[in-house]
Amino acid sequence: MWGVNAGLAWLAATTQLSFRPYDAQPILKAPKVPGARSDFKLVEGKHILSPKTMLELPRPGNGVANSAGDLTLVPLSQYGFDENGERICDEILSTPNLPLFDGGEAFWIDDRTIGHVRPGSDGKSSQELYAVSVEYTVDTTTVTPKSPVRVGEFPDAQLSNFKYSKSGALVFSAYVYEDRNLSSFVSEQDEKWRNRGNTALVYDENFVRHWDEYRGPKRQALFSVDLKKNKGEWTLGEEVFALQLPQHSTPVEPFGGAEDFDVSETHVLYTTKDPNVPEALHTRQNVYLAPLRPAPGSDLVRELTSGIQGATHNPVLSKDGKKAAWAEMERDGYESDRSKLVVYDIEAGVRFTITENWDQSVADLTFTPDGKSIIFTSGHNAKILLYTIPVPPTPAHSDMHLPVVIPIALTPSTLRRTLRLSPEDVEPEEFWFTGAKDKRVQGWIVRPPGLTKGKKYPVVLLIHGGPQSAWEDNWSTRWNPQVFAQQGYVVVTINPTDELTMQRYIPEFTDAIAEDWGGRPFEDLRKGWKHVLDNYEEVDGDRAVAAGASWGGYAINWIQSHPEWNFNFKALVCHDGVFDTVYNGFATDELYFFNHDFGGPPWSRRGREAAEKFSPVNRVSHWSTPQLIIHGSRDYRLAETEGLSVFNALQSRGIPSRIVIFPDENHWVLKPGNSLKWHYEVFRWFDQWVGTDKEYEGIRNAEDRASVAIAPVMTTTTKPSQLIKGFVPETFPPSCLSSFPSVAHYCVANPAHLSCHLSPLTTTMQTAEVPPPSPSFEPNDIPDAIDYTQNISTLLRTSTKRAHNAVHHSELAGKLLRGELPKNEYIYFMMLLWRVYKRARDPFDKPGAGTNIPTGVAKPSRLSLRRHRILLDTTEDAWQSTPLYRSLISAPPAGLRDYVAHLEQLAVSKDSTDNSRLLAHAYVRFYDFGSLQGSAGTGEKRASQGELLKIKEWYRAGMNEAVGDDRALKEALDVATATKDTEPSDYTSQSKVVFDDSQAPEENTYPISSVVAFVMALALAHFTLVVGGFTGARGTEKFESFVLWLRELLG
């Protein structure tokens, strides 16, 4: 007989499979690989958006409009590689532009006066304030600045983020010591700190380091000083007011800026981290209101938030100062939660949410001048749209339920913000496909310019970070798909499960990555990649590479860990990615991130299990693809050791690999010279493995045809739907939404500058698009015909493939695992199992059943309830918790209701330690290893021929011992046929099993060969499941129970 211990021992001896969780691998000598071309150069040209060209383009910052709405200040910076330096200036946007002074920071004092703060002329570290008057002629759109007039000098400190109140108060932020005394000469305190005699940093609480800096003794705080006009001259007051409580810090580091506070004529509204909870473990930020000129010793700072919320962003005040608003996340500890729009009535002291029932996140808020509406941005289908929403009447009490108010889109969902090099260029194309759980998933494809029809091009899959992020239709100087395309690659970006700005906020989509880092998102990526290969003939799947950063870098390491997914990438690039998820949970700066995404801290059972399950460090033995690793030494989000560990693992396994370290960069590579080197190394690595044509004809053709130089372009129309595509900032500038009567800003660019167009609020208002509905599944509950004239061996092989394909139809094995099958597919699978169970049992449980029992049919009533429970381990309410279960039992075929009830009884087991659905796992593993013939089948994993033959021969030997060879099985079928003839009443139920293999099956019937083959497939699949270690400590017990059941079933 064939017991499990002998079988496992035999397989271990013959296939040399390791049963240890960490497979010790020898140090291998790297194979011969193609070397990088000695003449490799980045593609350059007059009309080519090369990395160098992109890095030298002007970079506009957040525009600030004056209160009249006719002029806007936009800071611009531009780097020149020839000058090896950066030029910073401010420009007044009108037509044409007028660049102002170099360096510093500018703000509006009034509609025709600009305040400019810049380093002191005497070379000291202090900053000076200048007033610049401008004359603006509307008819000729001419802007004429007058000579700057020095107003005064600020205290010796690092000041920024200036905002002016019409009441004459200038608010700004400064890095100060604990005493928050700007008059105590901060520079002297700096010198004392630098010369303290040691370099030790001592901490009693987190953060120790954040983003790219160790936490020092200074924090940012808000201050105000009088700035008023006296006898035609602007004067700066002598007294500086500290506006915040000592434990408050604004802007919120590391990315906070002027958007973290707002001013009215009397108050400042700001957000700050909750001082009462550890910063590294919580995302909570509170919103406070404070007077601009606080009385000495007064405590007038007022908290407006509830104190139990998550993060808050972009606080704004209405023009009259009577209402405040901000974006608020509900869950503390979750940095990517949906942001709701909260309004606070300052006079009534009432707080209320006006987008509670809206399924998108809000950002970049501003009140309209009359205070009756709020304008904001929101992500939808990978585009950032502009919305407006009326402010409803203030309710009687805070947090009361309000009537549903739906925002109105001010920009059409078709508005694109992409690069155009020439009129003949191929625009980025948006595509949709059906991903995990039948959700519609979106992606982009960007083609190289000047494609030749019928020719294939190398392709790169770019994977974003976050992970709750998205590839949006916007501009970036770091991961710009256009730059990749201009080097001759077809670029594919996919927005898988977890995207916050991708679709309407659907918790089961956006939040689905939590505790499933390596699961559902990769099903989306695999299906999206297959969609691209199947539908875009210009894509050369044999010259495919992939690159990702942050979570995208983790994705690269996880794809490296799963060769059975058959992405077929020839090379990979991992930028600042995760290698060991457990270690990262301890080492990262923002600890709340790990705690949320993995269900708890890394030492908790839940957190550690989720991290271990999806940690690349546990699957290094599967790695084989050449990989480039890039890491910044000042990356404290994902420590440098993550990248070094990946490189060491690849080198130890003899896999071609290269690492690029930037000692002075953080999670992002920002310095222009470093960024250019980054692009060079990435494209050099790609070229080494997939190459592009040395004389890339598409680039050359595009250069010859180009009629527009690479420069931002604009249109003079005021209709947002007619905006020509052009360069825009990486994020939609919030201060460009500054309100003025009846208009909103639309930020685009022209050849010389970033500009803001004005459009009435009533223009082109529409609601956002809804993605196309998911396709319906066609019924698949009638099996294909089988040729019963074939011998029994061929018949078994054919029926095995048929039974298995039926379950795996439309890749539904994975859905079966999660209980997500469409009703008809789910019923079909249940019917297969039910026939094995019920049709083999019923004839012999009936009184007076014939004694001529066929040896090929079982009497599984001997199977104990315990064995059933082991085989069908599942969560307590798995069957009842899905609508599919209710649909399943609403109109079942005869006998199916009883079987479902039986499964329901088994599913409520309380003593299970393994909640996987065993049968579904078995199908997945069988499909991965291939068919019973030893071929690779249609599964994604290509097991070696030798492995498959050994498994097949072991299984066949066991089957021959338990059942007999083909002749014995044929005799069993003959006995079954005879039994059918003698006891016909036992085989006349609605769902029949055909025992006579000489005739084709009728509709809704299944031959016994299919049933037997079905059981064979399960047994073989479960065997591979066990030896692969997929069932944990109870795997052997489950397999042994399955073997006993199989033996009983087959007599």
Give pLDDT tens digits for 389-419. 999 998 877 766 565 566 766 655 554 444 4
Quick check: 584 and 597 in contact, CB under 8 A?
no
Quick check: 460 and 494 in contact, CB under 8 A?
no
**How far is it, in rounded angstroms, from Cα 686 to Cα 888?**
50
295 is written with which tokens?
Answer: 């009385």
Helix, strand, coil distribution of the chain in percent, nearest 5? 30, 25, 45
| Domain CATH number, residue 456 | 3.40.50.1820
> DSSP secondary structure string, 672-693?
HHHHHHHHHHHHHHHHHHT---
The answer on 796 and 933 residing in a single domain is yes
Q: Which domain holds residue 634?
A: 429-580+615-705
Peptide bond into 783 cis (omega under 30): no
Q: Point out the least confidently predicted range of 106-120, 160-174, 307-321, 715-729.
A: 715-729
Residue 558: pLDDT band by 50, 70, 90 thresholds?
very high
Identify the pLDDT of residue 427.
Answer: 76
Of the candidates 597, 627, 631, the one whose C-alpha atom is nearest the C-alpha of residue 611 is: 597
User: Which of 705, 731, 766 is the last residue in one of the domains?
Assistant: 705
- Interhelix angle 1035-1049/1008-1027, rounded to 10 degrees, is 160
Is residue 263 domain-resident?
no
Burial grade of 799 (CB within 10 A; 0-12, 13-18, 19 or more): buried
Residue 293: pLDDT band by 50, 70, 90 thresholds?
confident
> Looking up tokens 């980045």, which residue turns up?
42
**How far is it, in rounded angstroms, from Cα 679 to Cα 694?**
18
- Interhelix angle 966-982/792-807, rounded to 10 degrees, is 80
Is pTM beyond 0.85 here?
no
Q: Based on C-alpha coordinates, what's the Rg of the chain? A: 34
Is residue 989 domain-resident?
yes
Instruction: Please tell me which residue in 473, 576, 635, 873 is annotated as part of the active site.
Output: 635
**How far is it, in rounded angstroms, from Cα 511 to Cα 497?**
8
447 is written with which tokens?
Answer: 């083609």
Go through 660-670 and write b for each residue having 16 or more CB atoms within 10 A of its CB, e for each that does not.
bebeebbbbbe
Strand 64-65 and strand 85-93: pairing? unpaired
**How far is it, in rounded angstroms, from Cα 433 to Cα 448?**
23
Identify the pLDDT of residue 545.
Answer: 98
- The answer for residues whose C-beta is within 8 angstroms of residue 778's C-beta and 6 or more apart is none
Strand 457-463 and strand 490-495: pairing? parallel
The answer on 475 and 563 residing in a single domain is yes
pLDDT of 123 above 90: no
The answer on 502 and 635 residing in a single domain is yes
Go through 384-413 and write b for each residue having 16 or more CB atoms within 10 A of its CB, e for each that does not.
bbbbbbebeebeeebeeebeeeebebbbbe
**How far is it, in rounded angstroms, from Cα 494 to Cα 433?**
10
Long-range contacts of 531-537 (CB under 8 A, 24+ apart): 531/431, 531/433, 531/443, 532/431, 532/443, 532/445, 532/459, 532/492, 535/431, 536/445, 536/490, 537/454, 537/456
> Looking up tokens 């049933």, which residue turns up?
1011
- pLDDT, average across residues 151-171: 93
Burial grade of 1 (CB within 10 A; 0-12, 13-18, 19 or more): exposed
Percent of the chain with pLDDT over 70: 56
Q: Tell me which DSSP letter residue 65 carries.
A: E
**How far is it, in rounded angstroms, from Cα 453 to Cα 749?**
33
The answer on 567 and 476 residing in a single domain is yes
Of the candidates 537, 541, 531, 566, the one whose C-alpha atom is nearest the C-alpha of residue 434 is: 531
Of the candidates 509, 438, 558, 419, the one whose C-alpha atom is nearest the C-alpha of residue 54 is: 419
Instruction: Please tell me which residue in 248, 282, 667, 1022 is annotated as part of the active site.
Output: 667
> Looking up tokens 């400190």, which residue turns up?
157
Amino acid at 628: L
574 is written with which tokens?
Answer: 């991992």
pLDDT of 166 above 70: yes
Is residue 405 domain-resident?
no
Identify the pLDDT of residue 755.
Answer: 27
Identify the pLDDT of residue 205.
Answer: 93
Is residue 913 domain-resident?
yes
Establish whether 550 is a catalytic residue. yes
> DSSP secondary structure string, 579-618?
S-HHHHHHHSS-HHHHHHHTSS-TTSHHHHHHHHHT-GGG
Establish whether 635 is a catalytic residue. yes
Is residue 1027 domain-resident?
yes
Our count of domains for the chain comes to 3
**How far is it, in rounded angstroms, from Cα 165 to Cα 172?**
11
CA-to-CA dists, residue 673 to 81, 83, 481, angstroms: 8, 12, 20
- pLDDT, average across residues 638-656: 96
Mean pLDDT comparison of 85-94, 242-251, 834-843, highest-scoring range? 242-251
The answer on 690 and 784 residing in a single domain is no
- pLDDT, average across residues 300-314: 94
CB atoms within 10 A of CB 201: 11
Residue 186: pLDDT band by 50, 70, 90 thresholds?
confident
Identify the pLDDT of residue 136.
Answer: 85
The answer on 860 and 985 residing in a single domain is yes
Strand 457-463 and strand 539-549: pairing? parallel
Is residue 15 domain-resident?
no
The answer on 666 and 787 residing in a single domain is no
User: Which of 705, 735, 762 is the last residue in one of the domains?
Assistant: 705
Is residue 408 domain-resident?
no
Distance of CA 431 to the CA centre of its chain: 17
The order of strands in the sheet holding 383-390 is 363-367, 373-380, 383-390, 408-409
What φ, ψ does residue 296 adopt, rounded to 5°? -55, 130
Identify the pLDDT of residue 35.
Answer: 65
Identify the pLDDT of residue 860.
Answer: 28
Peptide bond into 626 cis (omega under 30): no
CB atoms within 10 A of CB 205: 9
Of the candidates 147, 292, 317, the one whose C-alpha atom is nearest the C-alpha of residue 228 is: 292
User: Which of 678, 705, 732 is the last residue in one of the domains?
Assistant: 705
Quick check: 382 and 506 in contact, CB under 8 A?
no
The answer on 789 and 648 residing in a single domain is no
What φ, ψ does residue 183 adopt, rounded to 5°? -80, -5
Range list of β-strands (E), 381-526? 383-390, 408-409, 429-434, 440-446, 457-463, 490-495
Tens digit of each residue's pLDDT (9 = 90 or more) over 867-926: 222 223 333 333 334 343 344 334 443 343 443 343 334 333 333 333 233 333 333 333
The answer on 805 and 932 residing in a single domain is yes
End-to-end CA separation in angstroms for the chain: 13
Of the candidates 629, 669, 1017, 993, the one whose C-alpha atom is nearest the C-alpha of residue 835 is: 993
Q: Point out the least confidently predicted range of 421-425, 713-717, 804-808, 927-931.
A: 713-717
Identify the pLDDT of residue 988.
Answer: 40
Quick check: 363 and 377 in contact, CB under 8 A?
yes
The answer on 790 and 696 residing in a single domain is no
Tens digit of each residue's pLDDT (9 = 90 or more) over 759-792: 222 222 233 333 222 222 222 233 334 444 444 4
Q: What sign does the dihedral 203-307-318-392 (CA atoms) show?
A: positive
CB atoms within 10 A of CB 984: 9
- pLDDT, average across residues 665-674: 96
Check residue 99 and give left, alpha or beta (phi > 0: left; psi -120 to 50: alpha). beta
**How far is it, in rounded angstroms, from Cα 513 to Cα 518?**
8
Tens digit of each residue's pLDDT (9 = 90 or more) over 941-969: 333 344 434 444 444 444 344 334 445 44
The answer on 800 and 699 residing in a single domain is no
Is residue 223 domain-resident?
yes
Q: What sign does the dihedral 985-990-995-996 (CA atoms) show?
A: positive
Identify the pLDDT of residue 941.
Answer: 36
Instruction: Please tell me which residue in 550, 645, 755, 759 is annotated as part of the active site.
Output: 550
- The answer for residues whose C-beta is within 8 angstroms of residue 208's C-beta and 6 or more apart is 201, 214, 215, 589
**How far is it, in rounded angstroms, from Cα 891 to Cα 897?**
9
Whole-number mean pLDDT of the chain? Answer: 69
Of the candidates 263, 67, 164, 61, the one whose C-alpha atom is nearest the C-alpha of residue 739 is: 67
The answer on 699 and 826 residing in a single domain is no
**How far is it, in rounded angstroms, from Cα 713 to Cα 717?**
12
pLDDT of 337 above 80: yes
